Structure 1
């Protein structure tokens, strides 16, 4: 198995009172999740060159469900064979063959009692590995900050993107909707729209990467328009009972410290608009989820989201310590939490927390030189 799992006894009665709320079930739309612990989406660039999920990925995702996570969110999955793909060896949901390759992954997670959601992603200007198209597309011709990520096989600066035409925008929306249909047909319990971390939808939301003067640029409502259209298109494609979530952030993979210019006013505008959409949950991600979203004091981003939306809020960001994770729920800042580094370190993190077993620190060697499953396997063999 790519992520080893050693079963621990079910000792539910020994759960510490402070962390007990993490193990309560949660209703998300029409779906009941067994607990409040989710695996965060993490790029692993371990699919085939054609974007097909592999047996190693079946073991990888299945181990999280076997380890006690109630919800597994996949890595970002590209939505079309035009400009959506961000990384070489990234999995897709753009066609029927890619759809069918995910079926064993979904079946393995379900066999262990978990739920699984596919994160749908269009990389936009941050695409650094796409065999389908030579160039990149974005809201505007703005060179992305920073450099490509070497641990995802990138090299050098990002490329100057081509501004998207209305036809290209429509095609991207259609790609999200079609990928959602494929996810539903593959047996996934839902999809999560990737509107965070500097990828296409976030590029439209962010003023310095969106310099359009049409209906997709200008004020906050116009910059949110593409995200809202994607939500609407996906809901129309999958119907009312299939879970549709959305991930949103301030920071970006190439601009980690970015903050919304209008601070809490922008947060109110973003979350207020999303509250009127048909999403079933909202996933906020920050470096440290419990800290103030703006400045040295004030509410966290998750807490701000929870003020404005009536759907469950999923908080992400350095919550691999049980006290931090449980604290978000106890303070009413989130309804459930997602773990990245903690889940990579221990696929059975929930069972370890439940029993008081050791939780080791994250080893960054898991992500170097390439953040793929083969590298993780090599590291474990060496250990």
Structure 2
């Protein structure tokens, strides 16, 4: 490290939030909540990151109240008395350590595979029942079923506010349910939830509006989206800045406060002719604060890490340059922070030689 890390530790504030610094713990599926209920070990896991100076924690994806929302029996629920009591304890522990935390609310849609989740006979669902090109897994959702799903997102957000979370993140990325409505490959509908790029935002818009109504005007709403899909890393919802502006405008108008812009490598430009990444373009086009993410703190991109490869610690000068230029506002750190709870504290204190290289072994426990 050849320059000051202070831009990472500058406080962030807007009309709804005040954060101690710009570091966000990225949402990462852990699957250590048997029966969907997060226990004391989950609370301790998040508390350790708060104790070590993370400005905002976004929980792993938590599933809304729908029979086909989850893809794994140990992914935490965000409904039911036992699960919500578990989450209330998580909030208590994080707040006691001086941190702030929001849940990510989620439905996997057609990504749910019956063979990997034998506990339930619920069929996967999606706008057109399509999981990938030429892979039909269910019948298209009816309009009434879509409306019920909107309500389930709103109920989860209301619960988040009720039990003391500091905001809520809606998962609209990575080929899951909301993203399946966005993508023309998986959305072939001919009603109001289908059509062109803007028309395909209708479901997300209704979810955001319902969440806003449920939580009121002052509760922060973060919306996570991505261009890439697990079945196609080269996919783009918007192929130009003009298309991206058209895509984002209805989401921003519906009530999003902050966009969480998911990329595989934060340093890559989103469009030709500009060095701006997805978070940079989103901030420029909407005027909203943005979170960047994508292999921060790693010398190997996160998709390779997820596939079982390790990664060393990475120089973050380029990240700090972009943050200092105000290309984006917040920085989500994933695997580096999963592996090393003290990552933020070590960076702040200049103990870079103590940063721990990532090992896939970290995925097997709540360290």
TM-score for both structures, normalised by structure 1: 0.85
Matched, 1:104 2:89: yes
Superposed displacement of residue 87, structure 1:
2.2
Residues 130, 55 of structure 1: CA spacing in aligned structure 2 closer, same or farther, 3 A cutoff? farther
Matched, 1:36 2:22: yes
RMSD, aligned α-carbons: 2.1
Specify the alignment match of 1:376 in structure 2. Answer: 365
Residues 145, 67 of structure 1: CA spacing in aligned structure 2 closer, same or farther, 3 A cutoff? farther
The secondary structure found in structure 2 opposite 1:276 is helix
> Which consecutive unaligned segments of at least 5 residues does structure 2 have?
298-314
Q: What does 1:195-206 correspond to in 2, within 5 Å?
A: 195-206=172-183
Specify the alignment match of 1:279 in structure 2. Answer: 256
Q: Tell me the matched-pair count.
A: 345
Q: What does 1:115-130 correspond to in 2, within 5 Å?
A: 115-128=100-113, 129=117
Residues 78, 224 of structure 1: CA spacing in aligned structure 2 closer, same or farther, 3 A cutoff? same
Of 262, 280, 289, 2:239 maps to 262
User: Contact 1:177–1:237 at 8 Å: present in 2 too?
Assistant: yes
The secondary structure found in structure 2 opposite 1:193 is strand
The secondary structure found in structure 1 opposite 2:210 is helix
The secondary structure found in structure 1 opposite 2:132 is coil
Superposed displacement of residue 199, structure 1:
0.5
Q: What does 1:126-137 correspond to in 2, within 5 Å?
A: 126-128=111-113, 129=117, 131-137=119-125
Specify the alignment match of 2:6 in structure 1. Answer: 20
User: Contact 1:251–1:286 at 8 Å: present in 2 too?
Assistant: yes
Superposed displacement of residue 112, structure 1:
1.1
Q: Determine the C-alpha separation between the residues in 1 that align with 2:163 and 2:121.
A: 26
Superposed displacement of residue 159, structure 1:
7.2
User: Contact 1:145–1:255 at 8 Å: present in 2 too?
Assistant: no
User: Contact 1:84–1:124 at 8 Å: present in 2 too?
Assistant: yes
User: Contact 1:70–1:113 at 8 Å: present in 2 too?
Assistant: no
Residues 23, 261 of structure 1: CA spacing in aligned structure 2 closer, same or farther, 3 A cutoff? closer
Matched, 1:343 2:337: yes
Flag the structure with more relative contact order, 1 or 2, with Cα contacts below 8 A and sequence separation at least 6.
1
Matched, 1:89 2:74: yes
Specify the alignment match of 2:224 in structure 1. Answer: 247
Q: What does 1:193-232 correspond to in 2, within 5 Å?
A: 193-232=170-209
